[in-house]
Structure 1
Amino acid sequence: MRKRATTSLLLGVFALGLLAGCGEGNVTSIPSESPTSSQSQEESYEGPYSVRVQAIGETTITVSNTVQLRSSATGTSQRDVTWTSSDPSIASVNERGLVTGLSEGTVTITAALVIEPRCKDSIEITVLGAPEATSVTIEGGDEQQQWVGEDLPLSVSVLPEDASSIVDWSSSDEEVATVSAEGVVSFLSEGEVTIMAASHDAPSVSDSVTFKVGKGTFYSNLGSPLWDISHQADEEPYVELPEGIDDGYHSLYFANVLSEKYYAEATFDMQTITSTWVWQGIGLGSGLSETDARYFIFSPRVEGQGNDYNKQIVKDLPNETWPAITTRSQIWGQNGLDDIDYLNSPVKIGMLRNGREHYWLINDRVMWYDNSAKYEGIPTMPILVSVDIPCIVTDFMVTTDDEFIDAKLADPAYAKSFYPSNSDIVHYQDDSNIVFSANNVLCKDNKASSLGDKAMLVGDFTVEFDISDVLLNHAHTAGFTGIGIGLSRYDSADNVESFFVGKSSVQTDNAKNVARFVSWNYQLSMDDPLAPYSYLESSAPVAEELTSTHHVKITRTIADNISSFAMEVDGNPVEFDVKSNQYAEMTSRYTGAYLLWVCGEYTSGTVSNLTFTSGLTA
């Protein structure tokens, strides 16, 4: 009988060992009386998992100090735990196991496995009282000028070092600024406000800082910290990028505007321009951050650059590549750029966003239009930009007022689709009439170009126009002499397809007025023998003379990823039967978008009643 009783006792002890498998030694003793149902469930976990809690440091801490706990789990790869405190008034624990002492006492911190909450382990933490603080100092409040709409995190240092660092924050005027329990100040309106931090255990020990809150136009905590915005709310406000700063991109974000529709402008007085890099400049941008923005700059001519042009360009951040937008947006001297006297007068830059549309202006003249999908459906902030140029900026403003913006968009200047390469020889008022008055100029210098994406052609498209008063330069005997259009590929601006009506030097009978379709490299002049990739011409004349009016229609249709082009003159389809080589066809594997331009290759004349339609949007 004694042997059987001993065996039964050993089996009972073994069973208790199985029940205590979760916790690795931190076993809750089993009461002699029958447990409740919930107690039974918590104490009878027999699964395959195990959790253990350890302290990284001492388990006795003083008020306001912390100790980091670490959990480890076995039997599963899903080791996430939920931390709890038996008395959060004594010590709190966050989701990462950091315990903070709040008042004297002893507390149990428990980690329960998320996938099986019955599997848990606990550790006891003792919190001792800390000596009273004798000094509280607020840190992070040195800049007393603050701005409506911004937040400022403050912290405190407390002496002696082992005193409780728990403080009670308060604001003297919560209509001007509020302060959170963590010391984050939110500035709400103009005025003066004092923020106080008082020791929780010794309220008479405190510190305070006073802020002057203004309503500014720009954020102080976004963009380049080198801008001086301290005068942005003066009676005559200005912001400044001082001389002597490092070269590079310096941004300043307009405050309290995150929208898909706004208008912003600013006037730049460039102080010194020392950089000889081509693309230094000033301007405005639209974006979300220092790594996600699109900006437009006016880039002035500078001694030592190797060119004598004022320029403009659109660039993206980050500037890790030279994307198509940057290539096609470069304008050197044209569209009135060289008339800008930036040395003797400030330069005004404007930007209007309307959904996916962005207009950029210089001195109230629309200079570029972007209708890409980069920020379609995404609200952005307007950004003031300077690249390598110290400047003083005045007369800045931003508005989201629909009535104001719609009035801007109704201005005829916003409806123009083109700009002239040289206003002395290309006369453009609107799309209905473009006059070329010189017949001794290459087409790339004698054109009306798409104003950014204004004359963008996507998918199947049709271009129609009338030509009249055409005068060819008969002294030009290279390539082709005529009037027509160019189609620059949207994503590779150097590749161009063009249609012309005029005279050909490659045909034996070059007295006829024929049509030409040519694919060529824009970096070369079109009469350069190396420029054409291929060309096709009509052997039959398309018009007896070109002084009278003739109607031209050009189409592209896309099928099976092939673009097919066609041309009509006065309603008659043109047959292109003269080819540069046997492979030349009126087709292309390029099915992307084009930017349209109108031109004369050593030809003067008038293009009128110009219309263009696309089947898709980019």
Structure 2
Amino acid sequence: MCKNSLLKQVLFFCCCFLAIGFFVRCSKDKDVAVPIYNLQLDGADYIILTKGTSTTIKLKIVPIHTTNKNINWKSSNEEVAVVQDGMITAVAVGNAVITAVSDSDPEKKVEIRVRVNSISVEKIELNVASPTLMDPDEVLQLTATVHPVVAPQELDWTSSDETIATVTSEGKVTALKPGDVIISATSASDKSKSASIRITVRGLEENILDNKKFVALPHSSQFQFSPYGTSDLSTLWNNNSTSLGTKDIFYISNKTVTYFGIDLGVKAKLTSLRYWGRADNYFVLRHPKTIEIYGTNDAAVAKNPNSPDEDWILLTETPFESVRPSGGTDKPVAGDIDYVYASEGERIPFTSTVPAVQYVRFKCLKTWGNIEGVWGTEISFNGTVIP
């Protein structure tokens, strides 16, 4: 009995010892450090700052589950720029190199070159007025003047749609195909300072039709009109796209899908139209977003406000989608790229195969705010009058 009891005790202690060893081994396995494999910049490796300003550098640590993610920062010239936890502050005019080094592996590091300027850019001016017309394959040299002249002169040139027109780093624009495009020159040292122009690359000859001949077609009784605007459609061709007076804003206040009709007074082969929304609410609320344009030469169809779309001819190849050049979501402010684009009327092109028509229906399927109603301040039509 004693021998069996002793044997059992020995076996018990052996099992405990093995269990403890296994537990310790597992714990050690869990504590194994994951080394850093790579350190990358999440942005440019060369930045320009104005004295007194700051910017924060973002890094990518690979793998993301690296155990030690601490980064040591240093500046090659703290009299020019200092750095703390990735935030670079410009101290004085000059150049410096900011280095980010992995705390666990000094071999993993990145460098950011910093240039500090003393004078900030106040404004940028272009040598060509907006809007500007061009033909396919035409080349236009733009020149930007940075004020004041002692401010940093480096510029970034961009095109909002490179399928319509491209621009080189020297401001040379090449028109490719019909459409509207925004060309911008932006200060490399201050992204908030820029100058933009809208360029229309023509297809067929774009003559503006005489709006003195326009006549409003009857409204459908299903539509209601806001007291903050008017039901008088002729306000859309009073040559005033910026006024916010109640008599200058055509304003349907109900229905998600809205439409109105215009007798052009002539039969014309249309190439495009331009539509202006409210100057204080571009690309928001009741600004048209998804649009269809119809035409007809049948007066009976045109003057019947409830005639179905099937009785008309669709002039847009597909529903036209209004697009903000910047891709932003906030309401545009005067001077920015979206405001410049909208303030000169958004161009809606027609297919080249559409017939000449006298009557036009403007149909809004959806607004930018995805709400009921629609508003506008001006409309114009481009094309060739057919005798």
Q: TM-score range by the shorter chain?
A: 0.3 to 0.5
Name the larger-Rg structure: 1
TM-score (structure 2 length as normaliser):
0.35
Greater relative contact order (Cα < 8 A, sep 6+): 2
The structure carrying a bigger helix percent of its residues is 2
The structure carrying a bigger strand percent of its residues is 1
TM-score (structure 1 length as normaliser):
0.25
